[in-house]
Amino acid sequence: MSTARPQGPIDVVAGEISRTLARVDALDFDRFLAELRIPQRRWFCTGQGRSGLVAQMAAMRLMHLGHRTHMVGEATAPAITGRDALLVFSASGTTPLSLHFAETARGVSAAVVLLTATPASPLRRLADTALEIPALASVQFGGSLFEQTALLVLDAAVLALDTGDPHTRDAMQRRHANLQ
C-alpha cells in the first residue's frame, strides 16, 4: 500500500516543467519538426555541460529514427558541410564554444537549429531555426529546468516524427544499441 507523499520538491519540479512546456510555441515547434524531417541531412549535435548530455540524447534518438547523427567533438565525427545541420542546445545562447561551432557551421552553409531559453542572443542570430524553451524562472539550480524541458520537447518531437507507426517503431528498435 502506498501513501500519498506531501507536496514538496517533486511537485515543484513537475510544476515548473509543466508550465514551461505549456509556453513552448506550437508554430516554432512545427518549424523545428520540419527541420528534422528534411531527408538526407546529417545532424551534428552539441551543447555544453548538462545541455551537452541532452544533445547526446538527441543524437541517439535521431539515429533511432534513421538520421545520420554525430556528436560534435567525437573522434569519428566527419566535417560538416552545407548539406548538414548543427543542432545546438544552449539556454543562454551565449556559450562561447557553441557560438564557435555555429559560426563554423554557418561558414560552410550548414543549417543551424537552436534550442534556447534566450530568444535574443548571439546564437539566435546565427540560427536558421530556433525553438525557445522559456525556462528562465526556476527555483532549481543552474539550467536544470531548461535541460529537463529541452529533453521532453525532444521526446515530443520524436513522438511526432515516428507517429506511432509500427514499421517506424520496428526500425527504431532494430537501430537500438545491442552492445550494452
Active site residue 35: no
Q: What is the pLDDT of residue 1?
A: 60
Are the C-beta atoms of 116 and 130 separated by less than 8 Å? yes
Q: What is the pLDDT of residue 173?
A: 73
Q: What is the pLDDT of residue 38?
A: 93
43 domain residue, yes or no = yes
125 domain residue, yes or no = yes
Measuring CA to CA, how many Å separate 140 from each of 16, 17, 43, 105, 115? Answer: 9, 11, 31, 33, 19
76 domain residue, yes or no = yes
Q: Using CA atoms, how far apart are residues 58 and 131, in angstroms rounded to an integer?
A: 14
The catalytic residue among 16, 35, 132, 147 is 147
173 domain residue, yes or no = no
User: What's the 3-state SS for 18-83?
Assistant: HHHHHCCCHHHHHHHHHHHCCCCCEEEEEECCHHHHHHHHHHHHHHHCCCEEEECCCCCCCCCCCC
What's the CATH code of the domain at 150? 3.40.50.10490
124 domain residue, yes or no = yes
Mean pLDDT per 10-residue segment, the chain (180 residues): 73 95 97 94 97 96 93 96 98 97 98 96 97 92 95 95 77 75
46 domain residue, yes or no = yes
1 domain residue, yes or no = no
Q: What is the pLDDT of residue 180?
A: 74
143 domain residue, yes or no = yes
Q: How many domains does the chain have?
A: 1
Q: What is the pLDDT of residue 4?
A: 66
Domain with 23, as residue range(s), is 15-166
Q: Using CA atoms, how far apart are residues 79 and 67, in angstroms rounded to an integer?
A: 16
Q: What is the pLDDT of residue 6?
A: 61
